[in-house]
């Protein structure tokens, strides 16, 4: 294929869409200006933070926002906190909000170092966690700043890590509480994370329910206006998406279906999303698994995921062992070295087990210890519940193909 032909194909691919007005408004990280049917929860969250907007002696606030996947927890927190920052500005109160997803920032240290460097411009190299935390508190006092830290997928941290951030005001402060937190978590993971000391510091736990069909239709109607040109997606089609998503009560489920159906229309040259496009998209969307979860993994975690997916996509293979997964992982590393001209070595078995622990925490794999036949002991088995192995393999291979040097 000649250079000019390739250039024309690329230009055609990036030219304006006949379907999408703004495709990015359907992406997982997009925070809409409006949150239909979440006004009550927004008011409740905002009211919890009244004390930090007082100009004299602000008090810290620690709130948990809990719910199942796709019910809008993250969007609720981001939208409300961004609005609170604006209210603070109007009242001449210096309030700031920083958000961290612990799938990407997996330790307390990485979060604190990022706050210190990005928010205050101070290099954290050479300082311990407690020193960094003290520096953040002192900076907040010096700049008369109220800082709210959003901690999403909080189960990736330990309860003790969250508590140390909460206790920073008491340990390093001088009578004023400058650091607040909003903890975001799925319901089951929050129960596992919560202990008595942490529970005692949570001012309010806001439990977010799933959406019903009518609420989902309103949400999809609003998103469709942002994402598509007029006439691309009809109310009848939106009703169909709402009907599909009502079984999971998961708005993200339907929004991803809309995105994929729109892309199908784009690829086929249609200027209208048809029912068959929705049906095709539905078969590629798995509401239990975040659509962007693989983008948060590091290279060798992706290799481990790919190894498991390849084994489990073999005919009649329901589960695998850590030993077999490790052997396949070593082959994946060797293959990536050849394809991407890398010079990486497979991790040790101990490190590989840590990768598996991470994959289980983010919901990609499931691990269970099972008894062997004839009383020969017990062994950990790995399987997938939320996504077919072939789909998982295709997604990871596609990601690695687009970005083989991912780290």
Query: What's the pLDDT tens digit per position in 281-331?
Result: 998 898 878 878 898 899 999 999 999 999 999 998 999 999 999 999 999
Q: How confident is the model at residue 402 (pLDDT cuts 50, 70, 90)?
A: confident
The pLDDT of residue 57 is 73
- Compute CA distances 169 → 118, 204, 397, whole Å: 20, 19, 46
Compute the average pLDDT of residues 211-215.
Answer: 97
> 177: pLDDT confidence band, cut at 50, 70 and 90?
confident
Measured in degrees and rounded to the nearest 5, phi and psi for residue 95 equal: -125, 140
Q: How confident is the model at residue 46 (pLDDT cuts 50, 70, 90)?
A: very high
All domains of the chain in start order, with CATH: 3-27+211-282 (1.10.8.60), 39-208 (3.40.50.300), 293-402 (1.10.10.10)
pLDDT of 276 above 80 = yes
β pairing state of 366-371 and 378-383: antiparallel
What is the percent of the chain where pLDDT is above 90? Answer: 72
Residue with structure tokens 């001209």? 341
Is a pLDDT exceeding 90 seen at residue 58? no
| Predicted confidence band of residue 108 (pLDDT cuts 50, 70, 90) | very high
Is 346 within 8 Å of 333 (Cβ atoms)? yes
pTM for this entry: 0.85
Can you tell me the mean pLDDT for 240-248? 94
Residue 311 · residue 318 · CB < 8 Å? no
Residue 201 confidence class, pLDDT cut points 50, 70, 90: very high
151 forms bridges with which residues in the sheet? 100, 183
Residue 192, pLDDT score: 87
The band of 126, judged by pLDDT with boundaries at 50, 70 and 90, is: confident
Q: Is the pLDDT of residue 109 over 80?
A: yes
For 306, counting Cβ atoms within 10 Å of its Cβ (0-12 exposed, 13-18 middle, 19+ buried), the class is: buried
Sign, CA torsion 340/341/342/345:
positive
Lookup: tokens for 144: 């008369």
Helix (H) or strand (E) holding 185: strand 179-185
pLDDT of residue 124: 86
pLDDT bin (cut points 50, 70, 90) of residue 172 is: confident
Give the separation between CA 401 and CA 115, rounded to whole angstroms: 33
**The most confident of 15-19, 49-53, 226-230, by mean pLDDT:** 226-230
Cβ contact 146:97 at 8 Å: no
Report pLDDT for 288: 77
What's the pLDDT score for residue 340?
Answer: 79
**Sequence-ordered list of residues with C-beta below 8 angstroms from that of 103, at least 6 positions apart, any chain:** 153, 156, 293, 296, 362
Give me 384's structure tokens: 């997938």
> Considering only 109-123, 187-201, 265-279, 375-389, which range has the smallest mean pLDDT?
375-389
Residue 30 has pLDDT above 60, yes or no: yes
- 364-393, pLDDT tens digit by residue? 999 987 666 555 566 789 999 788 899 999
In 3-state terms, what secondary structure has residue 14?
helix
Lowest mean pLDDT among 274-288, 342-356, 393-407: 393-407
Give 134-153 pLDDT, tens digit per residue. 999 999 999 999 999 999 99
Q: How many angstroms separate the CA atoms of 288 and 317, rounded?
A: 22
Q: How many CB atoms lie within 10 A of CB 30?
A: 16
Cβ neighbours of residue 375 under 8 Å, at least 6 residues apart? none
Percentage of the chain exceeding pLDDT 70? 93
**What is the residue-wise DSSP string for 274-298?**
-HHHHHHHHTT--TTS-TTGGGGS-
pLDDT of residue 263: 95
Least trusted range by pLDDT, from 1-15, 173-187, 219-233, 236-250: 1-15
Mean pLDDT of the chain: 90
Res 1 pLDDT > 80:
no
Q: Which residues contact 264 (CB under 8 A, 6 or more apart)?
A: 273, 277, 280, 281
């Amino acid at each position: 294929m000649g250079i000019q032909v390739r250039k024309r194909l690329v230009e055609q691919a990036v030219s304006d869409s006949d379907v999408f007005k703004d495709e990015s408004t359907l992406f997982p990280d997009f925070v809409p200006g409006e949150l239909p049917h979440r006004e009550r929860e927004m008011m409740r969250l905002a009211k919890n933070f009244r004390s930090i907007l007082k100009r004299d002696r602000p008090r810290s606030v620690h709130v948990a926002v809990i719910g199942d996947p796709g019910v809008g927890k993250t969007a609720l927190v981001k939208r409300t906190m961004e609005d609170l920052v604006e209210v603070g500005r109007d009242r001449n109160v210096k309030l700031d909000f920083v958000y961290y997803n612990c799938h990407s920032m997996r330790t307390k240290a990485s979060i604190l170092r990022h706050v210190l460097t990005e928010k205050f411009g101070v290099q954290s190299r050479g300082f311990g966690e407690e020193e960094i935390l003290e520096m953040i508190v002192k900076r907040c006092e010096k700049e008369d700043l109220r800082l709210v830290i959003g901690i999403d997928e909080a189960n990736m941290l330990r309860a003790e890590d969250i508590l140390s951030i909460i206790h920073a005001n008491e340990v390093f402060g001088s009578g004023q509480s400058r650091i607040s937190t909003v903890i975001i978590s799925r319901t089951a993971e929050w129960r596992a994370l919560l202990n008595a000391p942490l529970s005692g510091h949570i001012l309010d736990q806001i439990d977010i329910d799933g959406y019903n069909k009518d609420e989902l239709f309103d949400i999809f109607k609003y998103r469709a206006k942002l994402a598509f040109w007029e006439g691309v997606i009809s109310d009848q089609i939106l009703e169909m998406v709402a009907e599909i998503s009502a079984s999971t009560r998961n708005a993200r489920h339907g929004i991803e279906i809309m995105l994929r159906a729109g892309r199908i229309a784009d690829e086929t040259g249609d200027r209208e999303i048809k029912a068959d496009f929705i049906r095709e998209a539905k078969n590629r969307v798995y509401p239990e698994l975040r659509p962007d979860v693989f983008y948060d993994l590091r290279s060798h975690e992706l290799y481990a995921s790919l190894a498991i997916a390849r084994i489990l996509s073999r005919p009649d293979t329901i589960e695998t062992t850590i030993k077999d997964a490790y052997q396949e992982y070593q082959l994946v590393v060797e293959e990536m070295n050849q394809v991407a001209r890398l010079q990486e070595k497979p991790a040790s078995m101990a490190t590989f087990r840590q990768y598996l622990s991470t994959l289980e925490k983010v919901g990609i794999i499931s691990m269970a210890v099972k008894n062997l036949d004839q009383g020969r002991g017990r062994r950990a088995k790995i399987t997938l519940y939320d996504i077919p192995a072939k789909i998982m393999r295709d997604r990871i291979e596609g990601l690695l193909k687009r970005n083989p040097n991912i780290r």
